[in-house]
Amino acid sequence: MLEMQRPKIKIIKNTPTEGVFVIEPLERGYGYTLGNTLRRILISSIPGAAATSIKIDGVYHEFSTIPGVREDTTELILNLKKLVLKSSSEEPVTIRIEKKGKCDIYAKDIIAPSEVEIVNKDLYIASLNEDGKLKIEINVERGRGYVAAEEHKKGEEIIGLIHIDSIFTPVINVSYDIDLTRVGHKTNYDKLTLKIKTNGAVTPDFALSQTAKTFSDYMKVLMDVTDIALFESFIKEEEKPKEREEIPIEELNLSVRSYNCLKKESIVYISNLCDYTEQQLLSIRNLGMKSLNEIKKKLEERKLTLKKV
């Protein structure tokens, strides 16, 4: 069997938000195949956390103005959408903002339980004047990809609950380049350079590792396809009716009357019996409907049938 070159990976850059990884040597064409596959999985399948709905004290819809707050509800929602969150909980978690009096509110002012971490603490959210008061409950959930506000709605709506669009994926952008690389005297191998940018909720190397695991899990299904085919073939062989085997009709344990009728007709083996139709059996002397039903039942116990007309 011809062996393929085993590629190696080099980490050129890996900050909390940006990473550059080189994978080489790859067989010709594999650079594009691998690069495109990794890019698609990175963008769509890495789980993350995001705000899914908010409830503002005294506000009943997203087009309201809030007394004492510079931003209206729509602007406030746009700012909250920019929150970068980490959540270790598989269940929805509520985080809160409670502020009053003249001040600027940043993400660092959010009150969150231990399961939730605010990554971009310097994110500006709103400004209050001397009479301002702001109390917000923010629902945080884990998910994948992009989910529109409408898709968050479940059953009966709570008055004042505003659903928002959620971008769960922590990967902001992925790009790749393919160059030729040399192995010995051959220069027709691919070199894949993968560039990953995240929002800081996960590091680029972690995102790449999770992507490879996801891809590997899917490929395992194909890796086992030969074993599955062999197993199914074995099962089918086991379940295959043994109508051609030379098994004496004595094995059916028929009544004496039915057995004698078949013997007189020179039906010695079960395989011979299965070549008869119901009408042919009924034409045998002294073999009536009761014997026919008995014979059919005994054959069914062995997953066999009489010949169809």
- pLDDT on residue 225: 61
pLDDT-derived band of residue 40, with 50, 70 and 90 as boundaries?
Answer: very high
Asked if residue 260 and residue 113 are part of one domain, the reply reads no
The answer to whether residues 50 and 167 touch, using CB atoms and an 8 Å cutoff, is: yes
- Span 283-294, pLDDT tens digits: 888 888 999 999
Domain stops at, among 167, 187, 219: 167
pLDDT-derived band of residue 134, with 50, 70 and 90 as boundaries?
Answer: very high
Asked if residue 159 and residue 63 are part of one domain, the reply reads yes
pLDDT-derived band of residue 240, with 50, 70 and 90 as boundaries?
Answer: very low
CATH code of the domain covering residue 282? 1.10.150.20
What is the β-pairing status of strands 116-118 and 93-100? Answer: unpaired
- pLDDT on residue 238: 47
- pLDDT on residue 102: 93
Name the token pair of 118.
């605010």
Compute the average pLDDT of residues 102-131: 94
Q: Which helix (H) or strand (E) holds 96?
A: strand 93-100
Asked if residue 155 and residue 60 are part of one domain, the reply reads yes
**pLDDT averaged over the chain?**
86
Asked if residue 83 and residue 186 are part of one domain, the reply reads no
**What's the number of CA atoms in the CB half-sphere (13 Å) around residue 79?**
18
Is 242 a member of any domain? no
Asked if residue 198 and residue 95 are part of one domain, the reply reads no
Question: Which residue in this structure is represented by tokens 């709570």?
Answer: 158
- Helix, strand, coil % (nearest 5) of the chain? 35, 30, 35
Angstrom distances, CA of residue 37 to CA of 44, 122, 200, 208: 11, 35, 22, 12
Residues of the domain holding 139: 48-167
- pLDDT on residue 246: 65
**In this model, does residue 175 exceed pLDDT 80?**
yes
**In this model, does residue 241 exceed pLDDT 70?**
no
The number of folded domains in the chain is: 3
Asked if residue 130 and residue 63 are part of one domain, the reply reads yes
Asked if residue 60 and residue 117 are part of one domain, the reply reads yes
Name the token pair of 117.
């971490």
The answer to whether residues 307 and 275 touch, using CB atoms and an 8 Å cutoff, is: yes
- pLDDT on residue 58: 87
| Coil, strand or helix at 79 | helix
Is 309 a member of any domain? no
Is 94 a member of any domain? yes
